[in-house]
Amino acid sequence: MKKNRHIVIQSISFFTIAMLYLPLFGVAVFSVNSAKYGWVWKEFTLKWYTSLFSNEYILAAAWNTLVLAVVSTLISTLIGTLFAIGISRFPWGRKTDSFLDILLNFPVVIPDIVMAGSLVVVFALLRSVSDLFEAGLVTMIIGHITFQIAFVALVVRSRLVSIGTDIEEAARDLFASNWYLMRRIMLPLLLPGIVAGAMLAFTLSLDDFVISFFTSGPDSQTLPLYIYSAVRRGVTPQIHALSTLVVFITVILVVAAERISRKN
């Protein structure tokens, strides 16, 4: 009887994993198929991949994706880290604490489409003040930072909590000044948390579609946006190749991130 249960659990698990991977696998297979249409296998080819690099729209989209992810990650990591330190290292009252807690969890639970819609409206209002808020990379970066900050701060805060107060008091007891404490103890101990937060922010940026879709302008296509609009014109092997490439990069990032976080 116990054995039966194992088999049931195992077969449901394999079914689920198949459901997660079958479509990605299918796309990957057809990305190296030289047949352009249909359920036929002609021959192995990498031409769809090489053609990606001569498509200037795709190259521009890839560049935009990278700029968006890197810039938003840098800014949100800085702001989020300071925010986490500010929240957990100072004696706020209970009211301030719960306010900050809500502020921190709000971006996590608000539906992305609502956040995106409200950003569209605010950018429209701000546009009357400054050209900076013209829909494009800048507005996308602002949008991404807005949801990244909270995630970075949550990761860094949990690291701060796990460091505890003893270490800090011990350093003080051993005559450390503010600066020395920061440089010699807090920063090195926080660093793994900051790196983990930054990696999370970076992946969140690559993973996002909705915020980008709402806040982008005509010259700020990213890869997910490009794929989305291309699909509506019909599927092509080139899109298979591009999708497979993005999945491949995701796999590398995930494995690297897991390796690093397991080391700590």
Position among 170, 217, 219, 256 found at the interface with another protein (CB under 8 A): 170
Position among 67, 112, 134, 136 found at the interface with another protein (CB under 8 A): 112
Closest residue by Cα to residue 211 from 117, 87, 80: 117
Cβ–Cβ < 8 Å for 168, 85: no
DSSP 129-176: T-GGGSTTHHHHHHHHHHHHHHHHHHHHHHHHHHH-SHHHHHHHHTT-
For residue 52, what are its two tokens?
A: 């990606």
Position 35 contacts another protein (CB under 8 A): no
The type of residue at 41 is W
Position 29 contacts another protein (CB under 8 A): no
Give 50 or 177: the residue with its C-beta nearer to another protein.
177
Position among 3, 4, 38, 233 found at the interface with another protein (CB under 8 A): 38
Position among 36, 57, 63, 250 found at the interface with another protein (CB under 8 A): 250
Position 218 contacts another protein (CB under 8 A): no
Give 60 or 78: the residue with its C-beta nearer to another protein.
78
Give 46 or 251: the residue with its C-beta nearer to another protein.
251
Position 68 contacts another protein (CB under 8 A): no
Position 217 contacts another protein (CB under 8 A): no
Cβ–Cβ < 8 Å for 31, 237: yes
State the Cα–Cα distance between residues 207 and 255, nearest whole angstrom: 16
Interface with another protein (CB under 8 A), residue total: 109
CB 45, min distance to another protein, A: 18
Position 66 contacts another protein (CB under 8 A): no
In total, the chain counts a number of residues equal to 264
Binding mask 125-144 for another protein (x = CB under 8 A): x----------------xx-
State the Cα–Cα distance between residues 130 and 123, nearest whole angstrom: 10
State the Cα–Cα distance between residues 220 and 208, nearest whole angstrom: 14
The residues in 193-212 that bind another protein, with binding defined as CB under 8 A, are 203, 206-210
